[in-house]
């Protein structure tokens, strides 16, 4: 199965990070594609944009943002959206993604990906904004499932039900972060396999895989390490549902050399085709 928009499987990608700029330009590593953190390139005329232009000349790219605040009750920042569209056009980005979250209210930005209460009101509110953003960007918005540390008492549906209904109502794509599924499953005590099974497979246009930090009482989504086998197992199960879909490895703290990140990303190729591991995911989530 491929996604309903026919957006391409870009292969195995890596996040474009400043510490790797020199290596990428000098060595042109054989990575399939790069994911670009949109906000790092919107207001600069300096080296980052110069490097991005060269990367976009040589590699397919997709934009990934952290400040759209799609679930916020603040008005959408239209100036931001216009700059985002200009960057997407400039880099010929295959798609533009952000997170199902809000980052602030009253004009203030916490720069955190704060979770939504999963209610009918939040669903109506967010779906309307997703449609508005997609029109403004002239392309379907792709939304990533967040990792979260709180659950709202007023939620009336699961996160995967909210995401599925949102994607349907707003006609948006999904970026399925299997590490976030694992983190939230651990923190909230739900079954990650039920989550994976509940996501509309034909709307998934990209995967994220990453490492995290287990603090004992909860897991933090730190993007600071290799992914656990259980996270790869979730990826394998999801891949079996969606078929070939662009996959990206995220490494944002204690970032190692480019080859290490790329090698970690390429593990996706091995995990796709391995037999199912029995019991590992539920055991990991239950170990809390």
Partner 1 sequence: MTLLPLDRVQRWMHDVVVHPGTVAEALASPAAVPAPAERIEDVLLPSATLTAAERIGIYHAMYPLRMGEALSSDYPALHHFLGDAGFAELVRAYVQAHPSRGYTLNRLGDHLPGFVKTAPGLRRPDFCHDLARLELAITEVFDAPETAPLSEAAIASVPPDDWERAVLTPVAAFRLLSFRYPVNAYLQTVKDDNHDHPKARLKDTWVAVYRRDYAGYRLELSRTAHDLLAELVAGRSLGEALARAARTGGRRAPSEHELFRWFREWVSGGVFGGVTIGSDR
> Which spans of this chain sit near partner 1 (rule: CB under 8 A)?
39-40, 42-47, 50, 67, 72-73, 77, 80, 102, 104-112, 114, 117, 119, 121-122, 125, 149-154, 187-189, 216-218, 220, 288
**b (16+ CB within 10 A) / e for 122-137:** bbebbbebbbbbbebb
Q: How many CA atoms lie within 13 A of 116 on its CB side?
A: 31
Q: How far is the CB of 204 from partner 1 (least distance, A)?
A: 26
Comparison of 10 and 56: residue with beta carbon closer to partner 1:
56
Q: How far is the CB of 5 from partner 1 (least distance, A)?
A: 26
Cα distance between residue 129 and residue 176, in whole Å: 20
Q: How far is the CB of 147 from partner 1 (least distance, A)?
A: 11
Residue 6, Ramachandran bin (φ over 0: left; ψ between -120 and 50: alpha; else beta) = left
Q: 207 by DSSP, 3-state: which?
A: strand
Tokens representing 230 are: 């259980």
Q: How far is the CB of 269 from partner 1 (least distance, A)?
A: 34
Comparison of 203 and 223: residue with beta carbon closer to partner 1:
223
Comparison of 5 and 149: residue with beta carbon closer to partner 1:
149
Q: How far is the CB of 263 from partner 1 (least distance, A)?
A: 27
Comparison of 49 and 193: residue with beta carbon closer to partner 1:
49
User: What are the CA-CA distances from residue 174 to residues 181, 202, 281, 284, 287 (Å)?
Assistant: 13, 9, 22, 25, 29
Q: How far is the CB of 221 from partner 1 (least distance, A)?
A: 11
Comparison of 189 and 279: residue with beta carbon closer to partner 1:
189
Do 29 and 55 meet the contact criterion of CB atoms below 8 Å apart?
no
Comparison of 1 and 58: residue with beta carbon closer to partner 1:
58
Cα distance between residue 87 and residue 96, in whole Å: 10
Q: How far is the CB of 89 from partner 1 (least distance, A)?
A: 18
Do 285 and 189 meet the contact criterion of CB atoms below 8 Å apart?
yes
Comparison of 48 and 60: residue with beta carbon closer to partner 1:
48
Q: Please provide the DSSP assignment of 231-278 as one string.
A: HHHHHHHHHHHH-S-EEEEE--SS---HHHHHHHHHHHHHHHTSPPPS
């Amino acid at each position: 199965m491929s996604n309903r928009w026919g957006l391409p499987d870009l292969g195995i990608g890596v996040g474009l990070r400043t510490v790797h700029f020199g290596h990428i330009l000098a060595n042109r590593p054989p990575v399939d594609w790069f994911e670009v953190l949109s906000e790092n390139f919107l207001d600069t005329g300096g080296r980052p944009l110069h490097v991005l232009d060269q990367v976009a000349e040589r590699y397919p790219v997709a934009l990934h943002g952290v400040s759209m605040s799609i679930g916020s009750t603040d008005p959408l920042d239209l100036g931001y959206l216009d700059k985002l569209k200009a960057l997407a056009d400039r880099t010929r980005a295959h798609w533009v993604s952000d997170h199902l979250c809000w980052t602030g209210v009253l004009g203030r930005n916490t720069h955190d990906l704060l979770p939504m209460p999963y209610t009918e009101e939040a669903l109506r509110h967010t779906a309307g904004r997703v449609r508005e953003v997609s029109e403004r960007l002239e392309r379907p918005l792709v939304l990533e499932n967040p990792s979260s540390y709180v659950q709202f008492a007023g939620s009336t549906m699961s996160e995967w039900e909210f995401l599925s209904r949102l994607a349907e109502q707003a006609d948006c794509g999904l970026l399925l972060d299997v590490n976030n599924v694992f983190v939230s499953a651990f923190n909230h005590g739900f079954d990650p396999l039920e989550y994976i099974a509940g996501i509309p497979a034909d709307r998934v246009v990209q995967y994220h895989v990453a490492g995290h930090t287990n603090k004992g009482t909860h897991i933090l989504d730190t993007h600071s390490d290799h992914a656990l086998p259980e996270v790869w197992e979730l990826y394998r199960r999801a891949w079996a549902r969606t078929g070939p879909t662009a996959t990206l490895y995220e490494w944002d703290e204690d970032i190692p050399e480019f080859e290490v990140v790329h090698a970690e990303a390429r593990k996706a190729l091995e995990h796709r085709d391995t037999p199912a591991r029995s019991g590992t995911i539920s055991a990991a989530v239950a170990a809390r």
